Amino acid sequence: MFEIEERYEDALESFEHAILAAPDNADTHEHAGRMMAKLERHEEAIVLLQRSIEIEDTSRRQIELGGSFAKLDQWSDSETAFGQAIKLGASGVDIRYALAVTMANQQKCAEAETILEDILRQIPNRALAKQLIANLQHRPSAVVALDE
């Protein structure tokens, strides 16, 4: 309920208590990590998310981890996490777009364009993919944010 009410500090405190009570519960680490990310405390979020992944690796946890790495401009680690999420079954346009962004930010423009072109074959009107391809062609060294 705290998260729904955007009371992230209260939610985090609850999850921290849950971690103390059940230190090997992947879900509590994941939820606490997500609250840390919402509070822009990405270094701490990464630690919690990595622990949740040690306990049980899921695509959702890898996506959360990749997002926190991206917020810290740790593009290689973000790429690894998003790639693992895809290996674990995440196949949506958003995760593939996120992977393309991480590659673009590492100057892996050809790989990023390949992913984006695949997205556009599926969804021809996907504006973000079109925009990122145009940016790569005109300003290949520009840093791209995930939420653009």
Digitized pLDDT (tens) for each residue of the chain, 148 residues in all? 898 999 999 999 999 999 999 999 999 999 999 999 999 999 999 999 999 999 999 999 999 999 999 999 999 999 999 999 999 999 999 999 999 999 999 999 999 999 999 999 999 999 989 988 988 888 656 556 656 4
97 with 128, same domain: the answer is yes
Q: Measure the CA–CA gap between 66 and 78, rounded to whole angstroms.
A: 4
Residue 117 to residues 10, 98, 121, Cα–Cα distance (Å): 42, 14, 6
Looking at residue 18, what is its pLDDT?
Answer: 96
92 with 51, same domain: the answer is no
Looking at residue 138, what is its pLDDT?
Answer: 80
In a domain, 99, yes or no: yes
The pTM score is 0.90
Q: Measure the CA–CA gap between 48 and 45, rounded to whole angstroms.
A: 5
Domain holding 135, by residue range, is: 79-148
DSSP-H helix ranges across 56-74: 59-71
Q: Which residue has the tokens 């005109």?
A: 138
